[in-house]
Amino acid sequence: MKLTPVKVRGKGPRKKGWRPPDPGRFKRALGEARRSREKKNKKKKPAAPIERLPAEILEQILFMSENLNLPRSSLRIGRLLSGRSFLSELAVAAFGPTWDLWFGCVRSQIRSYRDYEADYHRVGGNPEFQSAVLACPRMSLALLLDAQKKWYRRHGEGRHYQHADTLDEYRYMDRDGGSRAGGRPDQLELRDRLIRHGRGGFGHACDLEACLGSDWEWFEKPQFIRLVDCDRDWRRQRYIDLHPATRIPDHLLADPMDCDRIKWLFWLIRGGAALSRHQTWEITECGYQKAMDGAESSPELALLVIRLFFALGVFSHRHWPKFLVSKKLSEAHGECDDDNSTVTANYKVWKYVALVLKNIRD
C-alpha cells in the first residue's frame, strides 16, 4: 500500500508574483541588434578589379567602347565618371571626329558629288554615341561649347571658320545702306556689332561663344526680311557640327519653352541636326501646343520655338500628317480673324503659324 503524499507548507520555492517586464532590458537588446546590423552593413564589399582602375583609364575605356552603360555598372565607377570635366571630355570624344572633318564648313559652300550628305560614313562620328551623349541628364549647351573649345585648342588652332553666306546681305550693309532701307537705331546697332564680329576666316573661331552669339542675334532679330524667308534661307545654311543621323533629345522637342533649351535647340539645328525617323509627330505636336499655350505670356519665346520647328521641318507632310496641319491652320486662322486679336501679344505668333502652315498646305 502506497503512502499518500502530503504537501507541507514551506518545503518548496515560493511562487513569485507578477511583475511588469523591464523596459531597459528590451531597449538594450534592440540597441545591440541594431548596432550589429549596422556594423554588418558597413562592411565594404571588396572592389572588383575594374573598379580599382584609375579614373583616367576608365574614361579611355568608355571613350573607346562608346558605351555609356559603364558608369551605370557600379556605384564606384559612376562616382568616378560623373564630374563636369568628364562630361566635357565625353562630348569631345563623341563629336570630335565630326569636327575634325567639317569644323567651320557651311553646307551650301561644300562642292562634292550628288547626295554626299546621305553618305553617312563620310561625315565622321558615331550617331548612336552622339545621341546617347546628348541624352545624358546632365548634358547642356554650356558643356557642349566647353567641349568644342577644348577640341579647338587641341586640334583647331588656325583653321578656317566661315559664317553662312545668306547672312552677308543683311550683316554687312554699311550704315548709309541701312538708313536708306529704313533701319531703326537698334537694327543699325545690331548690324554694326555683327560687322565688327567679322565674316570669318583663318583663326576666326578663337571665341566660339562669340560666333554662336553672333548667329543667335541674327536669328533672334532678323533685319529687313520676312521671317518665313529668313527661316527658309537659314534652313539651307547650316554647319556640320554633328552627324546628320544624330537624334535630338526628345525633351527639347516636347517641352521647349525655356531660354536655355531654345538656344540648345538652335545650336543643334545650326549644326545640322534633323528629325529622327523614330521621333513621331506626337512629340513635336506636344511641343508646339506648349509653345502656343505660352504665347500669351511669352510671345517672343513661342515665336522662336515655332521658327525653329519650321527650320527643322516639323510642319512638313513628311513629319506632320495632313489632318494635323489642317487642324492647326484652322486654329491659327480663327485666332487671326478675331476682332481683338491684333491687339493681343501673341498675334504675331499666330500670324506666323498661319503663313507657314498655309504655304505647306499649298
Q: Report the C-alpha gap between 178 and 166 in whole angstroms.
A: 17
Q: Report the C-alpha gap between 117 and 121 in whole angstroms.
A: 10
Cell of 20: 511588469
Average pLDDT over residues 4-28: 69
pLDDT tens string 140-176: 999 999 999 999 989 888 787 777 655 544 444 433 3
Q: Report the C-alpha gap between 226 and 229 in whole angstroms.
A: 5
Three-state secondary structure readout of 196-247: HHCCEEECHHHCHHHHHHHHHHHHHCCCCCCHHHHHHHHHHCCECCCCCCCC
Cβ pair 328, 293 in contact under 8 A: no
pLDDT tens string 302-337: 999 999 999 898 998 889 999 999 999 999 888 887
- Taking residue 77's Cβ as centre, other Cβ atoms within 10 Å add up to 21
Name the pTM for this structure.
Answer: 0.78
Query: 161: which strand partners?
Result: 201
- Taking residue 229's Cβ as centre, other Cβ atoms within 10 Å add up to 10
Cβ pair 212, 267 in contact under 8 A: yes
